[in-house]
Amino acid sequence: MGKVKVKKKCCRSTPRCKGCPVVVLLKARDKARKKAGKEAAKKAAKQERKERKKAGKAA
């Protein structure tokens, strides 16, 4: 039910409607960027934990 039906062509209304391909593509891009940022932060945190553990064993 929560899906938006995307139009083939933009009607150029102001403000843009929910079905406008421009709006849908921008939301998809933002969502992808947010997901990539979370994954990068998670990877960095994992690497940091690994380094701390290694430093603890060496001491």
The whole-number pLDDT of residue 34 equals 94
With a cut of 70, which residues of the chain have pLDDT below it? 1, 58-59
Q: Which residues contact 11 (CB under 8 A, 6 or more apart)?
A: 17, 20
| Tokens encoding 15 | 């403000």
User: What global pTM score does this model have?
Assistant: 0.60
| Tokens encoding 21 | 């391909």
User: Mind spelling out the 3-state secondary structure of 2-55?
Assistant: CCCCCCCCCCCCCCCCCCCHHHHHHHHHHHHHHHHHHHHHHHHHHHHHHHHHHH
The whole-number pLDDT of residue 42 equals 93
DSSP designation for 58: H
